[in-house]
Homo-oligomer: A and B are copies of this chain.
Amino acid sequence: MKLYDDKRAPNPRRVRIFLAEKGIEIERVDVDIMSIAHKNDANRTLNPFTGVPFLVLDDGTVIAETVAICRYFEELHPQNPLFGKTPLEKALIEMWQRRAELGLFQTIAHAFRHSNPYMAELENPQIAEWSKVNFDRIDGYLDKFDEALSQSAYIAGPDYSIADITTLVAIDFMRILRLKLTQKHPNLSAWHERVTQRDGSVM
């Protein structure tokens, strides 16, 4: 199988960290998003919804969408579970993974994509007001994650999970907006320092 990804984009990084946590190495094909390579004919045929990452199995089956790829590897390699073990753990990890993705990550992504000149071709039209609305919402999400981390060692409870991966990648992605964590969010800052030290937290 081959993983189609882009070295700089945040969603492929989520899969790379997941694979590193699982100790899985697979062949990669570089798709340069900035040169719109994910929308060329060959890649659009593989993933009609466009975007990376996507995984092409040896029989040609394509699994697209970051979390779908991670779930596939979780099912194939259940040791060191990153989606939880019990029904309740699985539900709470799914909840926090979605809060991290649909809340924090998407908010940062919209703020970036609708303001950065390099995104003008990919995000057309760019809407400055929509960027600003999202930019202004980021701090409220950080407050909620900081509060959660006052209660538990990791985002979704006592164990590291895919919710930590999504939150880490989202927070590092803030740099592109010239934002970084401060001591306004001490729990999140301490957590960020801890998870960044894990071997898998490669950029």
> Inside 8 A of A95's CB, which chain B residues have their CB?
63-65, 68
Segment among A24-32, A71-79, A164-172, A186-194 that sits at the interface with chain B: A71-79
A sample of 28 cross-chain residue pairs with beta-carbon separation below 8 angstroms, ordered by A number, consists of: A48-B144, A49-B99, A49-B103, A49-B144, A57-B88, A61-B88, A63-B88, A63-B95, A64-B95, A65-B95, A65-B99, A67-B94, A67-B98, A68-B92, A68-B95, A68-B98, A71-B90, A72-B88, A75-B86, A75-B90, A76-B87, A125-B133, A127-B127, A127-B129, A127-B133, A129-B129, A129-B130, A130-B130
> Inside 8 A of A63's CB, which chain B residues have their CB?
88, 91-92, 95
Q: Would you call A9 an interface residue if the criterion is a C-beta within 8 Å of the partner chain's C-beta atoms?
A: no
How many copies of this protein are present in the complex?
A: 2
Interface residues of A (CB under 8 A from B): 48-49, 57, 61, 63-65, 67-69, 71-72, 75-76, 86-88, 90-92, 94-95, 98-99, 103, 125, 127, 129-130, 133, 144, 147
List 14 other contacts, CB 8 Å, given A125-B133, A127-B130. Answer: A57-B88, A63-B88, A63-B91, A63-B95, A64-B95, A64-B99, A65-B98, A68-B94, A69-B91, A75-B87, A75-B91, A125-B129, A127-B133, A130-B130
Query: A92–B61 Cα gap in the complex (Å)?
Result: 10
User: Whose C-beta in chain B lies nearest to the C-beta of A77?
Assistant: B87
5 smallest beta-carbon distances between A and B, as pairs: A75-B87, A72-B91, A68-B94, A68-B95, A65-B98
Query: A49–B147 Cα gap in the complex (Å)?
Result: 12
User: Whose C-beta in chain B lies nearest to the C-beta of A55?
Assistant: B91
User: Whose C-beta in chain B lies nearest to the C-beta of A57?
Assistant: B88
> Given contacts A127-B129, A127-B133, is CB(A87)–CB(B72) below 8 Å?
yes
> Inside 8 A of A75's CB, which chain B residues have their CB?
86-87, 90-91
